Amino acid sequence: MDPTPLQDSEPAAAPAVPHLAAKARLLLLFTVLLIGAAVLFLLYARGVFEPTQRLVLTTDDSEGVAVGMDMTFSGFPIGRVRRVELGPTGEVRILIDVASKDAHWLRTSSIFTLVRGLVGGTAIRAYSGVLTDPPLPEGAERPVLRGDATAELPRVIASAREVLENLTAITANDAALRNTVANLQAVTEKLKGPQGALHVLFGNEADARKVVATLERTNALLARFDTLAAKTDTQVFGPEGVVREARATVVQLNGLLADTRSSLKKVDAVLVEAQAVGANVRGATQDLGALRGDVEANLRKIDSLINEINRKWPFSRETEIKLP
């Protein structure tokens, strides 16, 4: 017997597969290609084929920093943490590979931060304010600023505890607030009493009574003032009052003023006449001026006549001066 093992070995004989060897090779090739492509994609995704530039960030605490985590710029991942190591002076050195095509975003003035959020992992972020600065050189070493949301929690809790302790102290049995409230209650009780607020103000009942008595006497005084005011009214504004007499005096004064006004008008007329006299005197004075002018002219003529006579006269003086 020469059994075909493949068929005999099967519990139920299977039909022969046409082109079995070719199909098996194809399947093997498919699997190998699939796995090879997956490996290549993975290497590409890990950035193996990407040219990078090294950047070293230094900090004092590497908590939350893990190999493989991203460094972002404006939310875009531009680099990966390759190593985290301790430096010679105990500082933490975070070695980051920045993709060369994104390295131009990092400048010499760039700032790097390491932020730990309440939810999610730690994030390394880069900020470049002045993009015209020179680019960051290969292997540059920069300090990283730390910001930790959870680091604030202990401080907040400490403050909250302080506030709570203060509250406890305020509301304690022997606290000032409790005494104040008790006093307030006593005051309220006094307010509700027969003397009311006066009792609260003066502290004892006797003083409060004095105030009431003072008020009553003031009332009586006011009543007397009232009668005094009525009498004054009669004296001043009554039929024989001061006001009426004053009014009669004013009427008489009015008559006196009218008389004075007529007297003044007469004086005014006298003054007008005096003014006319003055005007006449001024005209006479002008005529006197003209007369004086004539007299002066005549005198000048007489003078010039005498001078003429003196010159023509035989006894006239020799006026010619003879030089030697």
Positions touching another protein (CB under 8 A) are 5-6, 8-11, 14, 17, 20-21, 23-24, 27-28, 30-31, 34-35, 37-38, 41-42, 44-47, 67-70, 77, 119-120
51: left (phi over 0), alpha (psi -120 to 50) or beta: beta
**CB of 11: closest distance to another protein in angstroms?**
5
Residue with tokens 């209650």: 185
The residue (of 1 and 290) whose beta carbon lies closer to another protein is 1
Measured CA to CA, the distance from residue 254 to residue 286 in angstroms comes to 48
8 A C-beta contact, residue 81 and residue 68: yes
**CB of 76: closest distance to another protein in angstroms?**
9
The residue (of 47 and 64) whose beta carbon lies closer to another protein is 47
**CB of 107: closest distance to another protein in angstroms?**
23
The residue (of 13 and 160) whose beta carbon lies closer to another protein is 13
The residue (of 42 and 299) whose beta carbon lies closer to another protein is 42
**CB of 16: closest distance to another protein in angstroms?**
9
**CB of 9: closest distance to another protein in angstroms?**
5
Q: Name every residue whose Cβ is closer than 8 Å to that of residue 144 and which is 6 or more positions away in sequence.
A: 57, 58, 59, 94, 112, 113, 114, 124
Neighbours of 114 (CB within 10 A): 23
Measured CA to CA, the distance from residue 39 to residue 31 in angstroms comes to 12
Q: Name every residue whose Cβ is closer than 8 Å to that of residue 14 and which is 6 or more positions away in sequence.
A: 7
The residue (of 102 and 208) whose beta carbon lies closer to another protein is 102
